[in-house]
Structure 1
């Protein structure tokens, strides 16, 4: 499903029909109208005896003391993942980039949707474009185990309630004839499952690939797989943001456009609002969707969560939706746009690209060093 009201209506239903527990793990949870609305739903669930566990990133989420007090009074247990000031020092490290909701260990929402007004939408400001998947059954149970694991790690540091430990697995789970696999990325902990999903998506493609990503800055190895796939005759379509909430990232993306076009990779910019979805589709039969952006922050410094889905009819339906999105809501990028581009604009794009690369290197240097010191 897409984001906006459609996503929040389903979130509302999951929360108010839960009977035992709700886990929410979010990169962004803001103290705005949307955040207060979700808090009211959680308060109603807690009043019925449902246990609420809200884990939010300590850097990106902004929750006032007043709202935290209201959460505590309502019975909503809140833990911040890696607060900005950690152990008396400023901490910019690994960020919890999940966008995950699990109800009763049986139903779960996984996608790119955060909780704030940008994702719900406002008058004159349409909701950002996101996608999410609703899963039921064993896959949701696996997602709950992930929630418990992360909750216990941070709860111990904050001297808050720990939950009974649950065995972690990495299984491929069939739900209603659809094969669903939970994929995680936490490079520091030697997990690069989502990156590997995208690598395999490109290396195994035979006919067509769709890549939808905000902040689209693939690293060298993924670019090489894109180039090789295009040489094999695979049709690759990349959908990026026409407008971005991070201007320097958008300029850096556009610096890569000539390379993409030279390698016969089609590029489309979504124009109706800010694109925030993260989806990969291969050959109309395999899909990955979740929090992972195709860039080195997600690869090396983010704690990410995706679902891989293998089912021909389901994936073809998703692919048709992307084709409709391209036809009705995107602007194709042409090589002519760049052959006649002013030098100053090209300079700004190159400068943005190099600054982003430097930022990525600096922000992940500690983790790369820590990782290799374990080898």
Structure 2
């Protein structure tokens, strides 16, 4: 009924009800944020107490696979990856394209900065991208490069409110290095000393025509977001339409999010096994349904995630789904003592993906991301080898054990679940 035909008492009651509803919503949000702040404070104390106790990541050798015309190298040890990335930059003759979500101002970060500066000084075209928000704690002086280096600092705030213009949302979460169009790197590793030996992550190097997949992603992003004073990078098409290696690129500015579709299709095709490794695993309704359907038809579905990630709120929100996953036959494995940050999956020993996207809302429906899709039995075998190796450092969480968890876990999971929209 229109409000103008209501009695004065009814209108007063309606206004009062609205005020109560708004206050209740405000108190609820304030309570959730206060609880989240408290949880983060407690976690910070725990991390400070345990600081220095983390063991180093196993220094496993890279694995090599031939995928048609491309040579794929898989890294699970940051130090080895950084050595090869720096060697590639030092050997550059034409161009260096480097994008990193986080670029720390430590010894590793300085080594990369020095390398790109050296390349620019010898006449190589050097373009670097890093996310302004992710590097707010990095000294601004470190973020300044000499003039020969072209720098795109993806802004913390962009014109257009997110709720009004979806094309203005999302952080640049990609990690890409392309040198001379002949070698490219992509994966979960940011640049920093911590990631070199203390985090378990996965990255790949591509040599061959598949490098175009990475270069094209960098070029498109650069040309769309560069300042007028910065050079436009040459764009080119690809002659390969039946490649066994292809890039799925989330592009908020174009409202395109293919990484999620990549996962959903692979899960739907699975007949034998789905093995997933994620730093942050908060599946949406469709991904959750896909995994449960696969498990119900007899597929061996396993997920590795850190027991304690670097984002405690993401850990708590993720646990809300554990009961449903465990009851549905999905195996959950918690990586012990170290942060596992990899974003990988392999299906049926035939398909694999390695990239920058987590299975959560921010990655699948928010940020700029890139994941390689590789259809290759040899590469899938390597990813399964890595997965089995990681399982040795994991503890499986069983349904019975999860049902016996302390009562305050249940309270936190339910109370903080609405924060999923922000994670």
Common topology (TM > 0.5)? yes
Is the 1:186–1:300 contact (alpha carbons within 8 Å) kept by the matching residues of 2?
Answer: no
Aligned to 2:192: 116
Is the 2:222–2:233 contact (alpha carbons within 8 Å) kept by the matching residues of 1?
Answer: no
Aligned to 1:154: 225
Aligned to 2:173: 97
CA distance in 2, matches of 1:346, 1:40: 49
CA distance in 2, matches of 1:250, 1:164: 40
Deviation at 1:47, TM superposition (A): 2.6
- Between structure 1 and structure 2, the one with the greater Rg is 2
Matches within 5 A, 1:1-375: 1-62=75-136, 63-69=138-144, 71-73=145-147, 75-81=148-154, 83-86=155-158, 93-121=169-197, 126=198, 128-155=199-226, 158-168=227-237, 171-172=240-241, 174=243, 179-187=244-252, 189-326=254-391, 328-357=392-421, 359=422
CA RMSD of aligned residues (A): 2.2
Taking a change above 3 Å as real, the CA distance of residues 171 and 303 of structure 1, as seen in their structure-2 partners, is farther
1:233-261 deviations in Å (ceiling 9; x for gaps): 00100001112111111111222211111
Match of 1:96, SS state, is coil
Aligned to 1:368: none
CA distance in 1, matches of 2:247, 2:287: 21
Is the 2:131–2:156 contact (alpha carbons within 8 Å) kept by the matching residues of 1?
Answer: no
CA distance in 2, matches of 1:142, 1:18: 19
Match of 2:186, SS state, is strand
Where does the alignment leave 5 or more consecutive residues of structure 2 unmatched? 1-74
Match of 1:302, SS state, is coil
Where does the alignment leave 5 or more consecutive residues of structure 1 unmatched? 361-375
Bigger mean CA deviation after superposition, 45-54 or 201-210 = 45-54
Deviation at 1:173, TM superposition (A): 6.0
Match of 1:248, SS state, is helix
Bigger mean CA deviation after superposition, 190-199 or 299-308 = 190-199
Taking a change above 3 Å as real, the CA distance of residues 170 and 287 of structure 1, as seen in their structure-2 partners, is farther
Instruction: Tell me the TM-score normalised to structure 2 length.
Output: 0.77
Is the 1:139–1:173 contact (alpha carbons within 8 Å) kept by the matching residues of 2?
Answer: no
CA distance in 1, matches of 2:225, 2:174: 15
CA distance in 2, matches of 1:47, 1:264: 57
Match of 1:138, SS state, is coil
Deviation at 1:172, TM superposition (A): 4.8
CA distance in 2, matches of 1:97, 1:172: 27
Deviation at 1:169, TM superposition (A): 5.4
CA distance in 2, matches of 1:173, 1:16: 33
CA distance in 1, matches of 2:352, 2:239: 18
Match of 1:61, SS state, is coil
Aligned to 2:5: none
Deviation at 1:90, TM superposition (A): 10
CA distance in 1, matches of 2:304, 2:245: 24
Is the 2:117–2:146 contact (alpha carbons within 8 Å) kept by the matching residues of 1?
Answer: no
Taking a change above 3 Å as real, the CA distance of residues 309 and 172 of structure 1, as seen in their structure-2 partners, is farther
Number of equivalences: 344
Deviation at 1:171, TM superposition (A): 5.0
